Structure 1
Amino acid sequence: MVTILGTHTVIPKEETPKGLLWLSDNDQLWRWSHTPSIYVYNPKQNNNTVVDVNVLVERMRDSLSEILVHYYPLAGRLSWTDGGRLELDCNAKGVLLLEAESKKSMAEYGDFTPNEPSIKELIPAVDYSRQINELPLFLAQVTKFHGGDGGFAVGILFSHPLGDGLAAIRFINSWAKLTRGAKLDPSELPFLDRTVLKPTGPLTQPRFDHPEFKPLPLILGRTDNIEEQKKKTTFALLKLTPEHVQKLKKNANANNPSPRPYSRFEIISAHIWRCACKARNLEENQPTVVKFNVDIRNRLNPPLPQNYFGNALGPTVTPTCYAKEITTQPISYASQKIREAVNKVSNHEFVKSQMHYVAGFENRWDLIRTPYLEKGEYRADVPFFGNPNIILGSWMSMPFYEADFGLGKPFYFGPGGVCPYDRGVIALMPDEDGDNGYGVVVYMHFQVDHMKDFIKYFWEDI
């Protein structure tokens, strides 16, 4: 059980610009709720002295107030326009920082994966029945574990319309850097002008077909995916050592028709796709695809500033394949299909066409966002990414282990909730032996009925 000891509304330390901030079409694509995540720290493991929770929270509160001067949009509030778009009022109403203590020791929380119901008490709670303009856009909860180990959890809620995963991680890392007494470099300050993603000139007919925004394949014989939406999902944390990754690379590149080796993301995504098709025992002629987002900061011409704060994701989808092709062909086959999807979003003209396509969504935004599943609502007219398909995410470039608040680096970082549809997230993980570079961790959300078989194939097929 966790007791909340204090709730602090934190506003920017200095006067910040006020007024409405335009949110790009890319910001409009995602659920309007918050993305939960959790960091876990063991100062003793990092040879740090035990930290007093009151001192820690005071430092974090002061540095949060300081960092909000640069990230002042996070201290604002969202609202709806008449056309169904989100807009941001930069009104400096502030963010929330909660101070808490648990009656459980760090060990009693197990591996901190979101399957454990008690993990929810380490994440701030939000009442989504309130008006959207009353909801803070960023919340953090600092929880001290029971016992003398000095362990802490920092649970985070970050509003998705304000930024993608990379934007969120950079904000948290900058906050952590200030907390431990360091100064920010000019290159670490955010670029806030989202109009750089505004289509220029009159909207034109998209030059590409854009299947990434169209309905995905259904289970054969079905007319909608309502039955799949209702199925429960669970979570598994799968850790690939550097040796596992090398073995998958060797297998995939043995049949690679290109001189350019497949990337870790392409290979591990293909591996997940194959295992998912096998675990679901799909019909041989069942159509299936993988959908994922690609960071477009470097894929535009000119490229976005590297410190762009906002959503800069280009959705993409593989060519439609049959389950038999994915499960019986060498892993290079699925890897190539993943590469084809990546290559589409590497084309500036494709991304530009995508921006014009999305701009045509006016008055249809409720059909794009997907918070309905989290509230137990099931709709056939909105996107669903689960069986027979899968959605993947890459956190390969996200330096979340740099979030040192003066407690040392976190020994665990992960999602704070179970996704309501099949989803795999691929991230780098420091090798536990410290000598072999980085391994890869897969945060896997999958239907309860199929997870056991998925894990079996995940290890057998390496």
Structure 2
Amino acid sequence: MSELKLSQTSTASMVRILSSHTVIPSAPTPSLTLPSSLCEQIKLSTHESLLYVYKSNIPRQDLQPHHILITSLSQTLVPHYPLAGRLLCRSAAGGGRWELHCNAKGARFYQAYCHSTLDDLDDFVSAQIVQELIPDIDYGCPIEQVPLLAVQLTRFSCGGLTIGLAMCRAVIDGIAAMRFINSWAKLARGELLGSTEMPFNDRTALDSCALNKTPRFEHSEFHPPPLWEGRGLEGSERETKTAVVVLKLTMDQVNKLKKKVGDSASPNKRPYSSFEVITGHVWRCVSKARYAGNDDQPTRLSTVANCRNRLKPPLPSGYAGNVAFPTVTSTCSFHDLMHKPLNYAVGNVREALERLTDEYVRSVLDYIEREKEVNAVRYNFYYPARSVYDGEFRGNPNLFVISWMNFSYREADFGWGKPVYLDPGFMDSEGIAFVLDSADGDGVVVAICLQAIHMDAFKRLFFEDIEGVFPTSKL
């Protein structure tokens, strides 16, 4: 481990970086280059962020929290050695495909201090403060120098703390991230990992079954998304300022939404899931908020699904790579989403998720294997707006919703208690939303980033369409 003293502070900053460390595995690890799985080939090389919030005072006075975290992180990187490596990109002739170089270069660890208290931060809605609590990744340097994992421990004047993580999307998904973090926390508590907690690092399990086999389906998830068109391109619609809001739905409100939809699309189908119902509701409200008289405006919703158990046979439970496969709804119009019953939107969400059968996922792998230029595939799915021309934003009719429901984040007890909150971290992409379980266990939380000019309307519609009356006290 090496330490570098930093002085990254400014008068506007609430967080002061005290030190930075490179954390390498505590024991020798395999030195090899792993070809990324075909699913990982379509992922961005950027980092997903997570923010764990702990309000308890630190009970262990013999060691400082950063010592506990650094020592246990070094131990955790032994079985999870790919996270201590670096991503490589093949030449243009190779289509921009990823390779994972397991070279034990290590993760970055930052120690920071915030002079505010956790109670001052208004449920971490402020994009500025959340950004300061997440490690800053320098994408200006060559990709082979960018750490796949970065961690920031921030102590607060009240005695609480946050752990912010940045984890490379092309290496790990949410399920694998939870397993990694929970293993790290267990080692930090002085416990040992069991055999079932060991990661499965072999990416070849997600290779195409038959190379160059023609895909069996038309994969619309990789087609360009709808553009903002027609009316509403002038004036304030070109305003690029975004806003983030975190909204809570109680289980009673979730059940009211389910009652509006009905049990299922037909008597022979399972009841709609909470994620399907909430996602359809959010999509409908976003379309209403963005509406500018453009009834025929096309829109689609994108999401990803964990496909470990959708494959036959299923992947090992400890599979440590990214198995979040993309899927999209059929393209709909604003008019249909706004005026048809809620089960129209919800049914489209269900159809997109149920499309991801074993046969379909295998076809996705065949599709990716045959693609000569994977950068275009990544762009079409992960940039759902695709509406910047000549440097000017022209609106986004689409929505990208990610589920963090049923994540085992409460197990991340590093020795000072369970986290009271999990936040998606810094959100700056217009048209992206996260759905996660609420900390108190009563309902779910929706965190969403939209154009600022649409946010008030969205918040009003979000509750009004459930209750019939907007709860102004919650604004």
TM-score under structure 2 length normalisation: 0.87
Q: What is the CA–CA distance in structure 2 between the aligned matches of 1:130 and 1:109, rounded to whole Å?
A: 32
Give the one of 166, 174, 184 matched to 2:175.
166
Counterpart Cα distance in 2 of 1:306 and 1:386: 41
Partner of 1:102: 114
SS in 2 for 1:69: coil
1:234-313 to 2 correspondence within 5 Å?
Answer: 234-253=243-262, 256-259=265-268, 260-282=270-292, 283-313=294-324
Deviation string 1:260-307 (CA, Å, 9 cap, x unpaired) is 211101100110111011111152222221111111111111111121
Deviation at 1:353, TM superposition (A): 0.8
Q: Specify which of 67, 74, 81 is matched with residue 65 of structure 1.
A: 74
Amino acid in structure 2 at the alignment position of 1:212? E
SS of 2:438's equivalent in the other structure is strand
| 2:31 paired with 1:27 | no
State which of 111, 115, 128 in structure 1 corresponds to 2:123. Answer: 111
Shift of the 168–230 alpha-carbon distance from structure 1 to 2, 3 Å rule, reads farther
Which of 349, 353, 356 is residue 366 of structure 2 equivalent to?
A: 356
Measured after TM superposition, the shift of residue 190 of structure 1 is: 0.7
- Secondary structure, aligned partner of 1:356: helix
Which moves more between the two structures, 195-204 or 11-20? Answer: 195-204
1:453 to 454, 457, 462: 457
The one of 365, 368, 373 equivalent to 2:375 is 365
After superposition, the CA RMSD in angstroms is: 2.6
**Is the contact made by 1:233 and 1:422 (CA closer than 8 Å) also made in structure 2?**
no
Tell me how far 1:219 sits from its aligned partner: 2.4
**CA deviation after TM superposition for structure 1 residue 399, in Å:** 1.4
Gaps in structure 2 of 5+ consecutive residues: 1-13, 467-475
Rate the CA distance shift 1:183–1:250 in 2: closer, same or farther, 3 A: same
Cα separation, partners in 2 of 1:258 and 1:391, compared to 1, 3 Å: farther
Match of 1:9 in 2: 22
Seq. identity, %? 41
Distance 1:254-1:72 versus aligned 2 partners, 3 A rule: closer
Counterpart amino acid of residue 110 in structure 2: L
CA distance in 2 between partners of 1:366 and 1:88 (Å): 21
Of 55, 66, 84, the match for 2:64 = 55
SS at match of 2:64: helix
Q: Of 442, 448, 456, which aligns to 1:444?
A: 448
Is the contact between residue 20 and residue 110 of structure 2 (CA under 8 Å) also seen in structure 1? yes
The total of aligned residue pairs comes to 441
Aligned residue for 2:333?
322
Q: Which runs of 5+ in 1 are unaligned?
A: 432-436
Could you tell me which of 82, 88, 102 is aligned with 2:100?
88
Cα-to-partner distance string for 1:230-280 (whole Å, 9 max, x where unaligned): 723221101111111111111111674334211101100110111011111
Structure 1 residue 456 displacement after superposition: 0.5
Q: 1:150 aligns with which of 145, 152, 159?
A: 159
1:369 Cα deviation (Å)?
A: 4.2
User: How many angstroms apart in 2 are the aligned matches of 1:385 and 1:21?
Assistant: 40
- The C-alpha deviation readout for 1:334-387, integer Å capped at 9, x for no partner, is 111111111111x211111111112222334255248998xxx98669xx9972
After TM superposition, where is structure 1 displaced by more than 6 Å over at least 4 residues in a row? 227-230, 370-373
Tell me the amino acid that sits aligned with residue 417 of structure 2: G
CA deviations on 1:5-42 (whole Å, 9 max, x unpaired) are 22221111111100111101211212212112211111
**What TM-score, normalized to structure 1?**
0.89
Query: In the alignment, which residue of structure 1 is the partner of 2:140?
Result: 129
CA distance in structure 2 between the aligned counterparts of 1:163 and 1:101, rounded to whole angstroms: 28
Letter in 2 for 1:202: L
